[in-house]
Amino acid sequence: MYAVVQTGGKQYRITAGSIIEVEKLEGTAGSNISINDVLALSGGSKIILGSPMVAGATVTAQIIAQGKGDKVIIFKKKRRHNYRRKNGHRQMITTLHITDISYQGTSLVSKPAREIKAAATTAVAAPAAKKAEATKPAAKKEMSIKKPAAKKAPAKKVPAKKSAS
């Protein structure tokens, strides 16, 4: 059983229990939302297509986390004119856990909602943080004032051997 939904101008093929990242939706972590823009439903051999939306179909999802996506670099250049512009952008995203797909008030397939903890919100952002740490140069150690080392006594000179020639 799967459904095709539209949110944020993009289309997603989802099943109950799947986790997707979509453009920012209003809500806090742990709250439930319903998506009414269902384009298609599939239940094994039967497929229901909407024109453009399937009437009476809804998808219920639980918000796992709100965060930012990966950084996208925008670089513009005009050759031979010394024109270069570098800009970056991080899109706000919402991570959803699909809990229920229903058609005309009856649940076709459902999965239990997840327990949302404070650690769960950082677990979603952890892969992006690890990637960022890998690209950053190592942090400089704090400079501490060191006393100059005591001077060593000069080494004793050993007289060179004279060759018998």
Averaged pLDDT for residues 51-76? 95
Predicted confidence (pLDDT) at residue 22 exceeds the cutoff of 50: yes
Domain ranges of the chain: 2-73+81-130
Q: Is the pTM of this model over 0.85?
A: no
Long-range CB contacts for residues 89-93, cutoff 8 Å, separation at least 24: 91/23, 91/24, 92/23, 92/24, 92/66, 92/67, 92/68, 93/21, 93/22, 93/23, 93/24, 93/66, 93/67, 93/68, 93/69
**Which tens digits make up the pLDDT trace of 75-104?**
999 999 999 999 999 999 999 999 999 998
So what's the pLDDT on residue 120? 46
**Which tens digits make up the pLDDT trace of 107-160?**
888 788 777 765 444 445 555 555 556 666 665 556 667 677 777 777 777 777
